[in-house]
Amino acid sequence: MDLTLKLNVDQVSAAILLLEQEEKHVLKQRLSTLLNLTPEAVEDLGWLKLAELAFRFWDDPAEDIYNDLIPMAESGN
């Protein structure tokens, strides 16, 4: 007998939220294997996560005044 369990992303997300903290930690350790990520891809994700912090200054609403100085490309040309 072949039994297949098919869950959508929302169901998987809800199940993860119900996990205990220790179970979430184990899942985090296994995630790269479950997603078939290469060691290089895992390293790249680590670098991207670190780089996010370098661009936090762009989230400053006071800096939005400079948006008008950037010429917008016209669509349809």
Count other Cβ atoms within 10 Å, centred on residue 47: 8
pLDDT digits (tens, 9 = 90+) for 5-60: 888 999 999 999 999 999 999 999 998 898 898 989 988 888 888 888 888 877 78
Give residues with Cβ within 8 angstroms of 4, minimum separation 6: none
Task: Tell me if 53 sits within 8 A of 61, measured CB to CB.
Answer: no
Q: In 10 A of CB 32, how many CB atoms?
A: 14
